[in-house]
Chain A
Amino acid sequence: MDPAGPGMSVWQDAVTYLNDPFNWTRTNGILELLGQHLRISATAVLVAMVVAVPVGVLLGHTGRGGGFTVALSNVSRAVPTLALLTVFAVTPIGFGPTATTIALTVFAIPPILTNTYVGFRGVDRDVVEASRAMGLSERQVVLQAELPLAAPLLMTGVRTAAVQVVATATLAALVAGGGLGRIINLGFGQQDYGVVLAGAILVAALAVLTELVLSALSWALTPGQKRLPFLQARAGGPVAEVASPL
């Protein structure tokens, strides 16, 4: 952005807006919108995990449905998030947090499903055979042999989905939903680019922060990654590219 001219004063306006404590604490202020944003996002990701992880584990473990998961993630890329947010808002559910959460859940499912599937599918068949030969039950094979090996990709899926959901939740503001996108929408409505920019800074910061926190979390939670170098080699291998900008 140009450092001199009108651009500068807009940045000053944005900083002023963000520096005003009243803008944070008032009703429908930044803190309340942030709370809404995080609540909706967390619910959507958790529900999507409950739905997608078991299905992904089942498909990956049995090796069926690979074409289905790939097709699902490709088609989901073509559906505009705004369309889904709007469609759920005009069903009898009505616009509001519930419609937003459902739409976001639908969008969080493909990355989690695909990565879980690829993770479980990618487990070395010899490992599975060996653990069966050691007398592990089918459930133990899944939980004790395959899960630790598939964990890095599973976490990647959850991280991708979460970052996507936090980003998409912004669009709820376009269909009278809540969340931080409201500040941007309001700013445009009032032709106040300082407010628009302040909203953009908040939304971008939240998205980047989500990415960083979840990266750290998945690094910490992934079992054995630091001890077993072959896992890192696997994680760096070809991974289904399912993220799309929102």
Chain B
Amino acid sequence: MLSAAGGVVLAVDEAPNPWIDPSYVTSNWEPILRYLGEHVRLTVAAVVIGALIAFPLALLARRSRYLAGPVLGLSTLIYTIPSLAMFAFVAPVTGLSAATVLIGLVLYSLVILVRNFLAGLQSVPDDVREAARGMGYGPVRMLWQVELPLALPSVMAGLRIATVSTVALVTVGVIVGHGGLGQLITGGFNANFYRAEIVTGALGCVLLALLADLLLAGVEKALTPWTRRARA
């Protein structure tokens, strides 16, 4: 433990080490932006790729109960594996690259999204499906124009949860040197417990997550105008 115990004053306790230091942010603007960029890129890529894989999987799982069991079981298993172990499983193949982090993140977001997509599709009332079929809707048109709009709240909820937890998870990517703002957190820790750097990284992650959540909430509102009309 680093403290002034036993009368020994360490240099680390002598120097001022404030938690919040605006001058750190202004003088290190460039690396902060670079890490932020990586953080955003990894998050967006992980959620988008996850959604692209989760969608057909959810459609498949809905088709039959025999497929739904294994899909949900496997996703629970993936969910249980700690992120550090996940990156460690992928790293022997892809090495110390951003791809290692991305693959791990895709797997996690995939799990959240499959569940929510499936729940959304299953929440469509049978009556509505029946009525659409009676009106001559084919399976593709029914999916796009009837089922997806009705499943949208659940889909968007999944996207929001996946995005927020992915933003938090990117930080663990520091293990392979691609942790976005997480690099600031461990960087500050390793640079003699430089608190301003740690707090910048941590606050940056939280703000990014909240911003992404707000953004997606706005998208959800824009995509479901009928919920607004119903409330008004």
Question: A residues bordering B, Cβ < 8 Å?
Answer: 1-2, 6-7, 10, 74, 77-84, 86-87, 89-90, 92-96, 163, 166-168, 170-171, 173-176, 181, 184-185, 187-188, 193, 196-197, 199-201, 203-204, 207-208, 211, 241, 243-246
Chain B residues within 8 Å of A86, by CB: 185-186, 188-189, 198, 202
What CA separation (Å) do A81 and B83 show in the bound complex? 11
- Pairs A-B, 10 closest by C-beta atoms: A83-B202, A94-B1, A200-B88, A167-B82, A78-B209, A203-B85, A193-B92, A200-B85, A80-B168, A80-B171
Question: With A94-B1, A244-B165 in contact, do A208 and B77 touch (Cβ < 8 Å)?
Answer: yes
Instruction: Report which residue of A1, A78, A208 has the largest number of chain B beta carbons within 10 angstroms of its beta carbon.
Output: A78
Contact of B85 among A10, A184, A188 (CB under 8 A): A184
Taking the complex as formed, is B219 at the interface, i.e. its CB lies under 8 A from any CB of chain A? no
- 20 A–B pairs (Cβ distance < 8 Å), ordered by A: A1-B93, A77-B164, A77-B165, A77-B168, A78-B210, A82-B186, A83-B201, A86-B202, A94-B1, A167-B81, A170-B85, A171-B83, A173-B84, A188-B96, A193-B92, A197-B89, A200-B88, A203-B82, A245-B79, A245-B83
Contact of A197 among B83, B92, B165 (CB under 8 A): B92
Instruction: Report which residue of B112, B165, B201, B210 has the largest number of chain A beta carbons within 10 angstroms of its beta carbon.
Output: B165
Question: With A78-B210, A92-B3, A193-B92 in contact, do A175 and B189 touch (Cβ < 8 Å)?
Answer: yes
- Contact segment of B127-135, B143-151, B172-180: B172-180
For chain B, residues 192 to 210, give those with C-beta under 8 angstroms from any C-beta of chain A. Answer: 193, 195, 198-199, 201-202, 205-206, 209-210
Contact in complex: A80, B205 (CB < 8 Å): yes
Contact in complex: B195, A90 (CB < 8 Å): yes
Contact in complex: B182, A80 (CB < 8 Å): yes
Question: B residues bordering A, Cβ < 8 Å?
Answer: 1-3, 77, 79-86, 88-89, 91-93, 96, 108, 111-112, 161, 164-165, 167-169, 171-172, 174-176, 179, 182, 185-186, 188-189, 193, 195, 198-199, 201-202, 205-206, 209-210, 213
Contact in complex: A208, B81 (CB < 8 Å): yes
Chain A residues within 8 Å of B93, by CB: 1-2, 7
Closest residue of chain B to A185 (Cβ to Cβ) is B175
Chain B residues within 8 Å of A10, by CB: 92
What CA separation (Å) do A212 and B81 show in the bound complex? 13
Chain B residues within 8 Å of A203, by CB: 81-82, 84-85, 88
Chain B residues within 8 Å of A74, by CB: 164
What CA separation (Å) do A7 and B92 show in the bound complex? 7
Give the shortest distance, in Å, between B12 (CB) and chain A (any CB). 10
Give the shortest distance, in Å, between A103 (CB) and chain B (any CB). 12
